[in-house]
Structure 1
Amino acid sequence: MPDFLLSQILVTFTLAIECYAMQLKDKNRLLALLSLSCLFNGAHYLLLGQQTAGFIFLFSSIRFLISIKWKRQWMAAAALCVSLIITYYTYNGLLSILGFMATVLITTGSFSKNDKFLRLMMVFGGLLWLIHNVLLGTPVGVLVELVFVGSSAIGYYRYYIAGRMKNINF
């Protein structure tokens, strides 16, 4: 099976997992599922020859699991340092920079104790990964990020905007 086709199959698992995960209210379950999705996404990028994105996602799988238990800012800083080291050693231009910037946003959100902030960082980080995937030319990867950003925005709306709208008396 060609690497490109296998990469698209693997990232399809990411798509299914993330669609479900971003609709969960329980932040720990959301982070656990994102950890699993990162394994598939990391393999997808490695098959496409994108080492920066691949290794960042494999490390992100571990980072999401750590952030379930510990929300210490120094751990977020350590995770960002590891991501920076990965980016430095695998650097291949604009795609590496976009991936790192997206990781900064998502890492900052995942170590936050605030679910609302987490979801906002997921939207903005997802938009950067969307640009990354468009430039890379991975069709299912683009779909993953479109759905991820859309699902994140819908989850944010459901939990933080729609509830407020019900309490407004006209």
Structure 2
Amino acid sequence: MSDFLLSQILVTVTLIIECFAMQLKNKNYLLALLSVSCFFNGFHYLLLDQPTAGFIFLFSSLRFLISIKWKLKWLSFASLGVSLLITISTYIGLLSIVGFIATIFTTLGSFSHNDKFLRLMMIIGGSLWLVHNLLLWTPIGILVEVIFVGSSFIGYYRYYLAQKPMKY
């Protein structure tokens, strides 16, 4: 089996998990599922010779678990520092930069106490990962981010927009 095919199988696991993760109202369950999805996504990127994205996602798997228990601002900044070190040490060009910028948003969201802010940051970060995956051309990875961003927006709409009464 080729590395590319195996990478697409691994990212399919990510796709299945993320299809419904952003629909969960319980933020801890959502973060736990994102941790698992990042684990599979990280190996997907490593198989595609994308060390920055691969190691950022593997670290993000741990970061999401940490952020379930602790919402400390300094942990958010420490996580960003680790992600920056990963980016510098594995730098391969534009994709490394796009991945790091996307990670800034998802990190800030994951350490937030505010579910609404978390969802907005995931939409922005996921959109940037979509750009990354388009540039890399990983078909299932593209689908993952389209579904993740779409699901994030649907979840945001359900919990924060649809519940507001219409003003006339």
Alignment TM class, shorter chain as reference: over 0.9
Structure-2 residue corresponding to 1:60: 60
Q: How far has the Cα of 1:108 moved from its partner? A: 0.2
CA distance in 2, matches of 1:77, 1:18: 25
Provide the residue aligned with 1:18 in structure 2: 18
The one-letter code of the counterpart of 2:98 is: L
Give the structure-2-normalised TM-score. Answer: 0.99
Q: State the TM-score, normalized to the length of structure 1.
A: 0.98
Letter in 1 for 2:45: Y
Give SS of 2:162's match. helix
1:20 deviates by 1.2
Question: What SS is found at the alignment partner of 1:49?
Answer: coil
Distance 1:32 1:127 in 2: 21
1:104 aligns with 2:104: yes
Give secondary structure in 2 for the equivalent of 1:23: coil
Q: Which residue of 1 aligns with 2:120?
A: 120
Q: Which amino acid aligns with 2:166?
A: I
Which amino acid in structure 2 is aligned with residue 14 of structure 1?
T
Shift of 1:136: 0.3
Paired residue for 2:144? 144
Q: What percentage of aligned pairs have identical amino acids? A: 71
In the other structure, the counterpart of 2:162 is 162
Is 2:134 the counterpart of 1:134? yes
Task: Assess, with a 3 A threshold, how the Cα gap between structure 1 residues 95 and 169 changes in structure 2: closer, same or farther.
Answer: closer
Match of 1:93 in 2: 93
The CA deviation string for residues 5-61 of structure 1, in whole angstroms up to 9 with x for no partner, is 000000000001011101000000000000000010000000000000000000000
Report the RMSD for the aligned CA atoms in angstroms: 0.7
SS in 1 for 2:23: coil
Gaps of 5+ in 1: none
Tell me the alpha carbon deviations over residues 123-165 of structure 1, each in whole angstroms, 9 at most, x when there is no partner: 000000000000001000000000000000000000000001x
Q: Which amino acid aligns with 1:80?
A: L
| Unpaired segments ≥5 residues, structure 2 | none
Distance in 2, Cα, partners of 1:19 & 1:152: 9
Deviations 1:77-118 (A, max 9, x none): 000000000000000010000000000000000000000000
Poorly superposed stretches of 4+, deviation over 2 Å:
167-170
State the 1:168 CA deviation.
3.0
